[in-house]
Every structure is written in C-alpha cells, then in structure tokens.
Chains A and B, each alone.
Chain A
Amino acid sequence: MSDHHTSSQASAQSGAVPSSRRRFLKDAAGVAGGAGLLALGAGLYARQASALPATAIRPPGALAEADFLAACVRCGLCVRDCPYDTLKLARLGDGVATGTPYFEARKIACEMCDDIPCVAACPTGALDHGLKEIGKAKMGLAVLIDQENCLNFLGLRCDVCYRVCPVIDKAITLERIHNPRSDRHAMLLPTVHSEYCTGCGKCEKSCVLPGEAAIKVLPIKLAQGSKAEHYLRGWEEKKAAGESLIGKQVELPVRGLEGKAYGDTRVAPGEGPAAGEGAVPDYKPPSRPGGVDSGWKP
C-alpha cells in the first residue's frame, strides 16, 4: 500500500509513467533482501551456537556433531524411548542446539540398555542404527580430570568410579603405584582406557565429591589428542613383527655395571664410585623422597 503511494508520488514529480518492471524489481529486491537477512541471521546464529557445551553428551550412536546437526529433526523420539529419563531435548537457552537430544552425566547417566531403544527410535539416522552393541558406543570419554581432589589420588580407597563402571576392569582399571607421601602405602589410581570407555557417565554420576566430579565424561574431541601417526611405537612394531625391526644388537659391557641387566643404569646406595680417590669433589648422592629406591616417578 505504502509502495503504491510513494511510487505515485515519484511519478507525479518526474511526470513520467512509473515503470512497473522497475517497481517490481525494486520491490522484489527489498523483499528478497529482507528475507535473506533474516535467513542469514538464523544461519549465523546456528553456526555460532553450534559449539556443544562440554558437559552435554549426545546419545549413543550419534553421528559426528556437524553431521548430527544436519540429520536430527528434533522430534524427541529417542527421548521418549529412553527408559531412565536420561535423555532430554535441549530447550531454547540450554546452550545446546535447540530441540536436539543430550544428557548430562552428573545428573542422570546412561544406563547402557542392551537393546539401545533410543537408537532404534531414531527415524532419520542421526543416531546410527549400525550400532548394535552398546559396548561399542562412544558417547564421550571419561577423564579423571581433577587429580588434586580425587580421593584415590590422595591415597584413600574410594574406588567408586571403578566399582560402578559397567565395563569394570576394562574401561577403568585401578593402577597400583607407590605412595611417596607415606612411603609405606599404595595408591590405586583409577585409569580410563579409551578403547573400552563408552562415555556412559556412571563414573561421573557416582563420584563422591560433593559438587563437581573429579572424573568427567567429555566429548571425545575434547578428551583425546590426535594420534601421532608419524611416530612408530617400537614395542608395537616389535610385537607385530615378532622380533625387533633392527635385528639383534651387539651388547657391549659397561664398566661397573657388569652384574646388571643390559641397559639398567640405575645406581643403588652403596654402589657406584667409592668416595675418596677419584671421587667428584663435594658430590652428594641425590636425596630420594622415599628414603629407599621406591621406583616412584612423578
């Protein structure tokens, strides 16, 4: 209506018949520009907000985040079929792409159902139906992120994260190590193995610390570095080949270490060059925290 008004004004000023084609082009450009700006805004917002918060874990079988955001139609069928109310749909303002499913391990962890009902419910393939065994799921990776407050790292026997792990002794093991503080106890350190961890979050959920957990499930991208493909791991190569790749090496004796295994250069107290003649002036053997050769390496 207002366009009509302004164009008739313009034609009255110029005294010419307004070109309907020019008016159409002008209107179309305005309309298209406005619509384009709106869509551009939506697109930029989507792009900018697509960074997933580290505590938001996708359901099992979820495609990589970029593909997931193309595949998920935000219908919530996975949420409906989750028997433990673990999954929820992101609401506007939750920081996760609006309407997409996620869970927070510290609130409700994934119970790792054998039949994976959430994956079966997905109509679009945002959750990959190729995932048949929940043990192969990679929702995230547990990381014992706070070694200062973890009770096991303080030398206590909490072990809760290890005990609740559905893949106990594979995904989380307790690694025994000397406690250098007391020098007479062991520390059993919960250790996550990425090969077996599904990212279910039971460990994070059960961590006994009052607020934040010492062990957290993170998106794999955050939890893991990239593998250094250009470094060959000698011990793996040796195992694969059945023998050392460089063949048997000539073992030359080392003076003073004749009684030890080849390559063992550690010196126990009382061993080594005697004080007196030939000794290094003012040399004192390094003091060891444990008083004995504990083998503790920080």
Chain B
Amino acid sequence: MSAQGTFGEGGRKLPPTSVRGAARRGVAARPGREAIAAKGWLPAYKWLLLRRLSQLGILALFLAGPWFGLWIVKGNLSSSLTLGVLPLTDPFLLAQQLAAGHWPYREALLGGGIVLAFYLLFGGRLFCSWVCPVNMVTDAAAWLRRRLGLKGGKVPAGSTRYWLLGFVLVAAAATGSLAWEWVNPVSMLNRALIFGFGLAWGIVGGIFLYDLLIAPRGWCGHLCPQGAFYGLLGRATLVRVSADRRSACNDCMDCFAVCPEPQVIRPALKGVGQDHPLILDGDCTTCGRCVDVCGKDVFRITTRFNRSES
C-alpha cells in the first residue's frame, strides 16, 4: 500500500514489490521464464503438474466407477465412501447442515472428522489448490488474463469471503435448508463432472468470465466461502511454504504474478511484520507455484516449525 504513492502515470521507477509494476515491465505475462531457463522445464512446473495430477486423479477415482465399473470411491466431494469402508464428508457441508438444524448420522460425522483432521494438520486450503475442481477453472482464467495482458478490474475486498461464509451459515439457519448448496459452484462443478452437468456450465462459465474480465483471482481469492472455511482451518497447519533463500531474491516478481493470494508472500519474502521466512497466512493454498516459477530457488515447501534461513 505504501508503494502506491510512488506509482504514477508514466513512472519509470516502479517499486519492486508491486504486482502492477511487474506487469508493466512485461514480466508477469509469462512468469517462470527465468525458472525454466535456470532449472529446466520439468522442475519449473513440478508442483503445478503434481497438483493437476492430484485434482484429476481424485476425479478419476470418482469416475472409474461409473465409467469402467471400478468402484473405488463412490459419491462425490460432498460425501463419499472409499472401498466400502472409509467415509469422507465435507466439513463445510456438515457446518451448514448443523446450522440448518439437522444432526447427521455417525457415518457423516466420522467422515467429516477425518477430513477436518486432515486439513487441520496438513493445510486447510490444500483443498483449494489440490482437490477443488474450480481451481482449474480460475487458474485457466488467471493464465489467460496474464497472456492477454488484461489489467485492472473491480476486485471485492479479500475479507468478503469470510462475511459470505457467515451469511451462508445464517442463510442455512434461516431457511432450515442447505441454501448455499443450490448455487455453490465448488460442489456443483465436482458433482456435475461426476453425475452430469445440466445447466451447471453456466455457473462455471460465469466464474471463468468473472475472474477473466472483472476481478483477477476474484472467486477463489475473494469470494468463495468454502475456501474461506478451509482458510480458517489452515491457520495452524503443519505444511507451509517458506522463503528460506529470500536473500537470493532478485525482485523479478514472478511469484507475485502467479500467486493466487499474492498478499501472503510479502511478510515472508520481504520480512514485513515478521522475522522468519515462513508463509503462515491461512489464505496461502500451499499450491507451490511460487516454488516452481522462482529462478533463484527462494521458496520451498516445509513445515511451520522450520524457521531456518539459508
């Protein structure tokens, strides 16, 4: 924010931590160029490929049954049964259900507990970057936005999602039903991919266009109440990204350009308000894209206890 003042029309000297400054210099259109040159193509896309593998693999597990008769996982991300024994239930749905006044069966509570424990331990928004199918849609919108060089837009405040999360629970209590699930794009896209689309294309397309034309990273980074829910779970999580070689940073801004939550990088990378290089913000999705695109190997994925710097 303080950098804003020095950023003027036609200003040549752009502050090193301004995303828009980086975009101006034309770096942000293809972040990761330096990394590809320095590390090679595969290491520069390692975490992205692993994430796509995870996202598509989870979908494949759900689809192996209806497509090939291989019933490994039944159901969808809202609630599922793996190999006939392991129940998993989305705690965000359970929270809405409890708000709506329904106490579910033990299966759902147990499944919700397992999922809750996993994300509390390993990172709440791992769901967003490694599981949620909408991530592929909004990543595609962000990629296209960078390529087309689209700038500006009307971005809602990042805290909107937490308000929305609150109102989603209030709406569930007020209507006595899972009101948000009528429109929730996250569960809807996942369900649509597994059970058939109907008009769900409209909502998915709407999110893509919203992210592309109106608000950069608008849905996942500012509005989605489900992401906000998992963000709250991720406040004290074990797996974190660390900028442990931040002394090597050459201010190329590529990490800021690819990061879906760029505000989480600054405290760790530039030591703003903290002395250690860990990204502890619950909004960080641990997607590892900053690790990929950095030509100087500044970032790595580690635990929250590893405060070392090299």
Contacts and interface: CB of A to CB of B under 8 A. Distances in A.
B171 A39 contact: yes
Contacts of B196: 89, 91
B199 interface: yes
Given A1-B4, A123-B111, A76 B174 contact: no
A92 B163 CA distance: 26
B79 A77 contact: yes
Contacts of A81: 74
A71 B167 contact: no
B104 A76 contact: no
B175 A80 contact: no
Contacts of A49: 182
Interface residues of B, number: 64
Contact of B194 (A69, A76, A94): A76
Contacts of A43: 171, 174-175, 179
A53 interface: no
A231 B188 CA distance: 49
A75 B75 contact: yes
B105 A42 contact: no
A123 B66 CA distance: 20
Given A75-B75, A92-B188, A124 B105 contact: yes
Given A73-B78, A123-B89, A123-B111, A31 B156 contact: yes
A75 B78 contact: yes
Given A31-B156, A34-B156, A98 B111 contact: no
Contacts of A129: 105
A27 B160 CA distance: 10
Contacts of B194: 76
B197 A76 contact: no
B79 A73 contact: yes
Contacts of A97: 182
A124 B104 contact: yes
Contact of B192 (A31, A91, A124): A91
Interface stretch (B49-57, B93-101, B233-241, B250-258): B93-101
A39 B75 contact: no
B126 interface: no
Given A91-B192, A91-B197, A38 B102 contact: no
A77 to B, nearest CB: 5
Contacts of A273: none
B176 interface: yes
Given A31-B157, A70-B102, A74-B191, A39 B170 contact: yes
A57 B32 CA distance: 54
A71 B97 contact: yes
A141 to B, nearest CB: 24
A226 B245 CA distance: 75
B108 A73 contact: yes
B219 to A, nearest CB: 12
B210 to A, nearest CB: 12
B105 A50 contact: no
Contacts of B286: none
Contacts of A254: none
Given A69-B178, A92-B203, A74 B78 contact: yes
Interface in A127-144: 129
A193 B87 CA distance: 40
A252 B188 CA distance: 75
A27 B178 CA distance: 29
Contacts of B191: 74, 76, 89, 99
A4 B4 contact: yes
A34 B160 contact: yes
A76 B71 CA distance: 14
Interface in A49-103: 49-50, 66-67, 69-77, 79-81, 88-94, 97-99
Contacts of B37: none
Contact of A70 (B71, B100, B166): B100
B198 A42 contact: no
Contacts of A31: 156-157, 159-160, 163
Interface string A28-53: 10111011101110110111011000
Nearest to B110: A123
A92 B199 contact: yes
| Shortest Cβ-Cβ A-B pairs, 5 listed | A91-B198, A39-B167, A75-B79, A93-B199, A35-B163
12 contacts: A1-B4, A28-B159, A35-B160, A35-B167, A46-B171, A47-B179, A73-B104, A73-B181, A74-B178, A75-B79, A77-B81, A124-B104
Given A32-B163, A34-B163, A38-B167, 4 more contacts: A38-B164, A46-B182, A75-B79, A80-B66
